[in-house]
Structure 1
Amino acid sequence: MAVFDVAAVRDQFPALAEGAAHFDGPGGSQTPQVVADAVAAAMTGAIANRGRNTPAERRADDIVVQARAAMGDLLGADPGGIVFGRSMTQLTYDFARTLAKDWGPGDEIVVTRLDHDANIRPWVHAAEAVGATVRWLEFDPATTELYDVADVLSERTRLVAVTGASNLVGTRPDIPAIAARVHAAGALLYVDGVHLTAHASVDVRAMGADFFACSPYKFFGPHCGVVAASPDLLASLRPDKLLPATDVVPERFELGTLPYELLAGTTAAVNFIAGLGTVVGDRRARILDSMATLEAYEHGLLTLLENGLDGLGVTRYNRAADRTPTVLFSIEGRESADVAKALAERGVNAPAGSFYALEASRHLGLGDTGAVRAGLAPYSDHTDVERLIDGLR
């Protein structure tokens, strides 16, 4: 594994020239120039509805095919099962409504207190609409580790929705172990991988996720959403769609014309990630090497950040054994919103809130206001960490 050249990476992000130290990546990463260029090229070149007759039609079709292939490589998934949408939230609502067509009274759906609300409320609403029961998997507020999913499974369980990594405290549940138990109960597993995908190698098939949702704008791409599933599973589902719209998988799940420029940017983002390592090979191999390099780099920076915070005596809530480089903390006697504002005045972007992980924030005793979150990204460096610690001091 090569030494990670963070200075070279930072040079590729125009936004960093403004001078802020960005710890706001969990809400959306900054964008490298190559992604912006890809979006602009798609919007300024001739483009039309997908087809193979004219150059404009072929350009649109190629953009979609290339984006599915790129996301398949990033997630270790079949490109034929990659579904694009406006956002992860929108896609999850769509899949919840579609799956709920086969649910009814007596069926049970499991959600967790650890999740972002986008992987809770769509399932709660869908269950309520058909009279199914919602069961909650809790987590230990002292460690932020999920309890055993077996405690909430039964022969009536139809689906379990769980995060691949908490966007609030970074906890990474053991998804393969959860998947084995869920499938043994005869249920489906829907994984929110929005936060995980930015920080770890993903292999959807190996982890056992039936559905894996993520958002390219969390890993250098444009604002859109992705769900990966097997084509066979998608073919068994009947989503609501317009009558003349194609019934082909995965297109039957994509409402309206796709945003070609955003898909072009998504492919560019995946290619950017693939270029961060040193391995020579196919794109999947390069992605795995890059993500291993990034994980090692971010882990070292996380240790520096956590040691600095602990030295200041702040209350830190990220305690899981396996976690992303995401720190949630508060300062006794200070409102977290005021802390975030004071940091912003010093050019340090570390926002405060519950960040839509409302159930988790409440379960931690932080109510709806949450705490300050500092998330590391591949373009973060030790000077950013020093600026955060100095600002807090």
Structure 2
Amino acid sequence: MNSFDVIAVRKQFPALDEGAAHFDGPGGSQTPQAVADAVARTMTSALANRGRLTAAERRADETVLAARQAMADLLGSTPQGIVFGRSMTQLTYDFSRALAKTWSAGDEVIVTRLDHDANVRPWVQAAQAAGATIKWLGFDPETSELDDIAPLLTDRTRLVAVTAASNLLGTRPDTERIAAQVHEAGALIYVDGVHLTAHAPVDARYADFFVCSPYKFFGPHLGVLTAAPELLETLRPDKLLPSTDVVPERFELGTLSYELLAGTTAAVDFIAGLAGTGSTRRERLVSSLRAVEAHEEALRDELESSLRAIPGITLYGHAAHRTPTLLFALDGHTPAEVSAQLAEAGVNAPAGSFYAYEPAQHLGLGPAGAVRAGLAPYTDRSDVDRLVAAVAALTGSNPTN
């Protein structure tokens, strides 16, 4: 594995020239120049509806095919099982409605208190419409570890929706083990990989459905779902009569945004080049993301240790396996006040519940939530020092790093 060169990485992000320390990556990463160039190049080239006759048609077709292959390489899946949508939320609503057509009264759907609402509310609403029963899987507020799913599984379980990593607390449940339990019960598993895919290698083949969002890992704003093509063949979504019934296009309603797909391919290539080694892009992606994971975890440990030394701070989320995401509150200050003061110091660390409605409620935080500091591959030690100093300044303390 090549060494991870954060100085070289930072040079690829024009936004960092503005001078802020970015801990807002969980809401959307900054964009490298190569991705912006790919988007602009595609938009200024001749394009048409997909086809093989004209150069414009071929360019559109090749852009889509390249993006499917890129995302399959990133997720360890197959390009024939890659579905693009406007967002993860939109894709999940679409698939919840398609799957709910197969449910009936007495069937059961399991959702968790740990998930982002985009992997909760679509399933709750689809189950209600089908007359199915919703079951809730909780988590320990002290450790932020997900509870054991086994007691909830029955022969009436049809689907389990679970996160691969909490966008609020960073918790990384053992979704492969959960998937094995779900499959043993004869049910399907839908995994929200939005927060995890930016921070660690992913092999999504264990999940029936795995979703992510390229804008969390340097790409444009869209959503991606991967599933086995054979499974996709069994689902009949609502769609226009003249539109193709071929998988995966069957699930992509309307013309795809070619420029965003070109940017997605560029983002995957960018990740593969961070610290990647190997003869295939998949191998380079895995080795790069392992290097990213080591870099981010080391900085997270330093940041967490320094924040703990500040009087009056409360840190949430203590799972054994976590992303580099910290959630904290400060005595005597609302989360919004802390975030505003950090912004004044040039540190971008937002406050709120970040659409993680259920975990925020479960922790007693409510809509005000707390302050979230998320690390990214472009985060360096100086960013960590700035965040710690800015938080300490609010308390009048002077922690050492």
TM-score range, shorter chain: over 0.9
Offset of residue 278 of structure 1: 4.1
Aligned amino acid, residue 277 of structure 1: A
- Distance across 2 between alignment mates of 1:79 and 1:199: 22
- Distance across 2 between alignment mates of 1:203 and 1:284: 10
| Structure 1 position 317 matched with structure 2 position 306 | no
- Distance across 2 between alignment mates of 1:362 and 1:102: 31
Corresponding residue for residue 4 of structure 2: 4
| Structure 1 position 155 matched with structure 2 position 138 | no
> Does the residue aligned with 1:312 lie in a helix, a strand or coil?
coil
Moved more, 133-142 or 271-280: 271-280
> Does the residue aligned with 1:89 lie in a helix, a strand or coil?
helix
Offset of residue 102 of structure 1: 0.6
Corresponding residue for residue 381 of structure 1: 380
Aligned amino acid, residue 282 of structure 1: T
> Does the residue aligned with 1:110 lie in a helix, a strand or coil?
strand
Q: What do the CA deviations read for 1:174-218 (whole angstroms, capped 9, x no partner)?
A: 01110010001100000000000000100011xx20000000000
Offset of residue 365 of structure 1: 1.2
* Residues 224-373 of structure 1 aligned to structure 2 (within 5 Å): 224-313=222-311, 314-373=313-372
Corresponding residue for residue 399 of structure 2: none
Aligned amino acid, residue 347 of structure 1: G
Q: What do the CA deviations read for 1:231-265 (whole angstroms, capped 9, x no partner)?
A: 00000110111000000000000000000000000
Offset of residue 5 of structure 1: 0.6
- Distance across 2 between alignment mates of 1:65 and 1:92: 22
Aligned amino acid, residue 254 of structure 2: G
Unmatched 5+ stretches in structure 2:
393-401
| Structure 1 position 194 matched with structure 2 position 171 | no
4+ runs deviating over 4 angstroms? none
Corresponding residue for residue 396 of structure 2: none
Q: Identity, % of aligned pairs?
A: 69
Q: What do the CA deviations read for 1:346-386 (whole angstroms, capped 9, x no partner)?
A: 10000000000011011111112100000000000000000
* Residues 1-80 of structure 1 aligned to structure 2 (within 5 Å): 1-80=1-80
- Distance across 2 between alignment mates of 1:299 and 1:340: 23
Q: What do the CA deviations read for 1:68-103 (whole angstroms, capped 9, x no partner)?
A: 000000000111000000000000000000000010
Provide the aligned length of Structure 1 versus Structure 2.
391
> Does the residue aligned with 2:226 lie in a helix, a strand or coil?
strand
- Distance across 2 between alignment mates of 1:21 and 1:82: 34
Aligned amino acid, residue 124 of structure 1: V
> Does the residue aligned with 1:329 lie in a helix, a strand or coil?
strand
- Distance across 1 between alignment mates of 2:384 and 2:30: 17
Aligned amino acid, residue 328 of structure 2: F
Q: What do the CA deviations read for 1:113-159 (whole angstroms, capped 9, x no partner)?
A: 00000000000010011111000000000000000011211111000
* TM-score, length basis structure 2: 0.97
- Distance across 2 between alignment mates of 1:368 and 1:177: 32
Offset of residue 333 of structure 1: 1.7
- Distance across 2 between alignment mates of 1:149 and 1:278: 36
> Does the residue aligned with 2:135 lie in a helix, a strand or coil?
strand
Unmatched 5+ stretches in structure 1:
none
Corresponding residue for residue 127 of structure 1: 127
Offset of residue 3 of structure 1: 2.4
> Does the residue aligned with 1:275 lie in a helix, a strand or coil?
helix
The 1:250/1:388 distance shift into structure 2, 3 A limit, reads same
Corresponding residue for residue 181 of structure 2: 181
Offset of residue 277 of structure 1: 1.3
Corresponding residue for residue 213 of structure 2: 215
* TM-score, length basis structure 1: 0.99
- Distance across 1 between alignment mates of 2:317 and 2:296: 15
8 Å Cα contact 2:21/2:348 also seen in 1: yes
Aligned amino acid, residue 148 of structure 1: D
8 Å Cα contact 2:110/2:134 also seen in 1: yes
Offset of residue 280 of structure 1: 3.5
Aligned amino acid, residue 254 of structure 1: E
Aligned amino acid, residue 246 of structure 1: T
- Distance across 2 between alignment mates of 1:317 and 1:3: 31
- Distance across 1 between alignment mates of 2:4 and 2:306: 22
Offset of residue 2 of structure 1: 2.9
8 Å Cα contact 2:81/2:227 also seen in 1: yes
Corresponding residue for residue 398 of structure 2: none
Aligned amino acid, residue 353 of structure 2: S
8 Å Cα contact 2:276/2:286 also seen in 1: no
Corresponding residue for residue 144 of structure 2: 144
- Distance across 2 between alignment mates of 1:43 and 1:98: 33
